Amino acid sequence: MNGFLKVEQLAKAFQADKPVFADVSFGIAKGEFVCIIGHSGCGKTTILNVLAGLDTASHGHAFMDGREIAGPSLERGVVFQGHALMPWLSVRKNIEFAVKSRWPDMRRAELDQHVEKFVALVGLSAAIEKKPSQLSGGMKQRVGIARAFAIQPKMLLLDEPFGALDALTRGTIQDELMTIVRQTQQTVFMITHDVDEAILLADRILLMSNGAEVNGHYKPGGLAETVINPLPRSRTRAQLHHLDGYYELRNHIVDFLVSRAKAH
């Protein structure tokens, strides 16, 4: 299987005879944005945690840039639904902490310039000296995104980073994320429950099925289908529903979630 990221026959079982998912294989090209969608319990977050090096699979392998993933690495930036900021540090210091862990010998002037560049990318220059308690939920998530991009990882892993935000804030940050990804040509793997978010952001959408009892036998969940997004990459939130092919794509994914995501 070709790709910058390669996942081969991945499986995870907390109970030996009932794997959550099995035989999950896919690749992601460099610079590609891939979303994964499925119902709760299908194993999306487990797959992301394996790619992050925070969990291990029961079977199978994951490779990035020709090397097997084994443990966390600054080559993979992770953004979770919770912002995970250090509350006693300012925006500047939160991002600086991550940058110094990647480049411990970076000089002060270069460090300041680097941090300020990524704070500006997410539109938070005016809040750079504020602490998390002084920020809204959306602003905190922007700091988390800036921190992940600031270490310039080879790949970005996003676990429903906008799930707790209101629709207006979510839309604004989606636009900012798209802009940054296009500027940096970042490779992204993202979990979402939001069909429109996946259609807006992703080049490809992976559809996951849940495990279930079928005719008296347990069938594990897995990768049921890969959908290529045919909409132009220059798409925006405002014009999305006007694009040819949008409703067909959306209806196909919704139909999968409603009628085919559970094993039959």
What are 75's two structure tokens?
């080559």
Q: ∠116-32-80 over CA atoms, to 5°?
A: 55
| Alpha carbon distance 251, 264 (integer Å) | 20
| Alpha carbon distance 225, 120 (integer Å) | 38
Q: Model's pTM, two decimal places? A: 0.91
Write down the pLDDT at residue 2: 59
What are 141's two structure tokens?
């998530």
Residue ranges per domain, the chain?
5-75+155-260, 87-152
In order along its 264 residues, the chain shows pLDDT tens digits of: 558 999 999 999 988 888 899 999 999 999 999 999 999 889 999 999 999 999 999 999 999 999 999 899 999 999 887 778 999 999 999 999 999 999 999 999 999 999 999 999 888 999 999 999 999 988 998 899 899 999 999 999 999 888 878 888 888 888 888 888 888 889 999 999 999 999 999 999 999 999 888 888 888 889 999 999 999 988 888 889 999 999 999 999 999 999 887 744
Write down the pLDDT at residue 54: 92
Q: ∠148-150-151 over CA atoms, to 5°?
A: 75
CATH class of 5-75+155-260: alpha beta
Write down the pLDDT at residue 104: 95
> Which has the closest alpha carbon to 211: 8, 39, 51, 48?
39
